């Protein structure tokens, strides 16, 4: 009898998140196209695919309960493989989700994945987040993009009054927030990660640049 921990797969994900059958079907379609594309395009590290449902999907899905029910629009910057943007869209398909990504091959994947998942309210914008104009959202997400202080500099005109920023981070979350506060006035909360015991989600409700520390 093996003492190995049971694999965290779709059934465990559904139990942990409460995802319904329709959402699970969308995520199954995402898994299929991600595995197929990742064989020739580097979207996620090949080794992490063995832990896809916990390391990538649960890590993304844990943001959903933090998104207010009144939210209508979400921007995911540096979307890459669509994490967390496509996972959030799979679980909240009524949201208008915009995925911002600068690499053409990744943009092609994001568009194909959204189509395969049957997500009709997902848009893909190619470019760097700091260069995007004429777009704001109720919620902004970013996963594995940059340190917090750098991320805030990328947001530029993407935020408006009341915009909530959700950044999943690892064990350095507290240190990153402390460092960012040298240059930014930040109202934020650290929320324990459900996918990584050492990680946190940084939930920022307001920020303003105050200049570099002398």
The answer to whether 149 and 175 have CB atoms below 8 angstroms apart is no
Strand 73-77 and strand 200-209: pairing? Answer: unpaired
What average pLDDT score do residues 134-162 get?
A: 94
pLDDT tens, position by position, 90-129: 999 999 999 999 999 999 999 999 999 999 999 999 999 9
Res 7: pLDDT: 84
pTM metric for this prediction: 0.93
The verdict on residue 3 lying in a domain is: no
Instruction: Let me know if residue 214 belongs to a domain.
Output: no
Number of domains in the chain: 1
**What CATH number does residue 149 fall under?**
3.40.50.150
**Cβ contacts of residue 65 below 8 Å, gap of 6+?**
none
Using DSSP's 3-state secondary structure scheme, residue 140 falls into strand
* CA pair distance 184, 148, nearest whole angstrom: 10
> CA-CA distances (angstroms) from residue 127 to 113, 115, 165, 214?
19, 20, 20, 33
pLDDT of residue 212: 60
How far, in Å, CA of 53 to CA of 195, rounded? Answer: 10
**Region label for 13, one of left (φ > 0), alpha (ψ between -120 and 50) or beta (otherwise):** alpha
Give the pLDDT band of residue 6 (cuts 50, 70, 90).
Answer: low
pLDDT at residue 130 tops 50: yes
With respect to residue 5, please indicate whether it lies within any of the assigned structural domains.
no
Question: Within a domain: residue 139?
Answer: yes
Domain interval for residue 144:
10-209
65 in a structural domain? yes
Average pLDDT over residues 5-14: 86
Confidence of residue 187 (pLDDT cuts 50, 70, 90): very high
In a domain, 202, yes or no: yes
């Amino acid at each position: 009898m093996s003492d190995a921990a049971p694999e965290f797969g779709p059934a465990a994900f559904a139990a942990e998140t409460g995802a319904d059958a329709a959402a699970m079907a969308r995520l199954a379609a995402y898994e299929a196209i991600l595995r197929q594309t990742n064989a020739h395009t580097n979207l996620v590290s090949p080794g992490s695919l063995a832990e896809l449902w916990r390391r990538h999907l649960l890590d993304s899905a844990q943001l959903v309960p933090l998104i207010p029910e009144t939210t209508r629009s979400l921007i995911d910057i540096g979307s890459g493989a669509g994490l967390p943007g496509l996972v959030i869209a799979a679980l909240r398909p009524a949201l208008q989700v915009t995925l911002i990504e600068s690499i053409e091959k990744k943009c092609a994947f994001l568009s194909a994945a959204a189509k395969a998942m049957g997500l009709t309210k997902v848009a893909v914008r190619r470019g760097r987040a700091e260069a995007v104009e004429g777009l704001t959202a109720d919620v902004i997400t970013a996963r594995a993009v940059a340190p917090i202080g750098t991320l805030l500099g990328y947001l530029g005109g993407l935020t408006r009054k009341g915009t909530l920023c959700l950044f999943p981070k690892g064990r350095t979350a507290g240190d990153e927030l402390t460092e960012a506060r040298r240059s930014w006035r930040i109202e934020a909360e650290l929320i324990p990660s459900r996918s990584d015991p050492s990680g946190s989600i940084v939930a920022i409700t307001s920020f303003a640049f105050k200049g570099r520390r002398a």
